[in-house]
Amino acid sequence: MSDHEWDDSQYPLAYLITIRTHGTWLHGDQRGSVDRHGKNLYGAERIGLDPVYSVTMDRNMSSEPFLLNGPQRAVVESAIRNVCDHRLFGLPAIHVRTNHTHIVAVAQIPPNLMMNAFKANATRELRESGLVAPDQRVWSRGGSTRYLWKSNSVERAIDYTINGQGDELPDF
């Protein structure tokens, strides 16, 4: 094996980061989910359809689910691009939908730090532009971070992010 075939970097080539808006994907709904209390391990079984759990989660929400409209989506995309420019992260792909955002990002830091910066800056810019109230919860807790170790995984994540999200959304 030659030196260029072996990569002992602790960081992957890129990350696929997904952040959801507040209240739009609750535990117990038909899509399945993972929880943050020990069941969020690679290969662990997901929480499946559970109408009782779903209703309980819905009742426990402190505010209504939040969906991004066209102007809000534009601000979120700009805010994430600003973070990448300022911190010198690579940004091969981004797609902001009404209830979630996919980001393919490149940096040699843990993905949760990038995700937190994206959410914080997007929230701040939404508030500064007057598009959300000061007390509006915009994002759900946590998010998804997938490590992309191989170039074909990065290519698939970029394609999914750009082309795999459904129809174009109107700007409202």
Torsions phi, psi for 106 (to 5 deg):
-125, 120
What is the reported pLDDT for 104? 98
Nearest of 124, 122, 68, 132 to residue 100 by alpha carbon: 68
Torsion sign over Cα 76, 82, 85, 86: negative
pLDDT band at 49 (very low <50, low <70, confident <90, very high): very low
pLDDT band at 141 (very low <50, low <70, confident <90, very high): confident
pLDDT at 50 over 90: no
Question: What is the average pLDDT across 129-152?
Answer: 92
What is the reported pLDDT for 6? 57
Question: What is the average pLDDT across 69-73?
Answer: 95
Question: What is the average pLDDT across 29-35?
Answer: 48
Q: Which residues are CB-contacts of 92 (< 8 A; sequence separation ≥ 6)? A: 14, 104, 105, 106, 154, 158
pLDDT band at 63 (very low <50, low <70, confident <90, very high): low
Please state, in angstroms and as integers, the Cα–Cα distance from residue 32 to each residue in 23, 28, 75, 123, following that order. 14, 6, 29, 26
Instruction: Provide the H-helix boundaries in 93-168.
Output: 111-128, 151-163
The CATH architecture to which 12-23+65-163 belongs is 2-Layer Sandwich (3.30)
Instruction: Provide the H-helix boundaries in 16-150.
Output: 51-60, 70-87, 111-128
Instruction: Number of helices (H) and strands (E) in the chain: give both, helices first.
Output: 4, 4
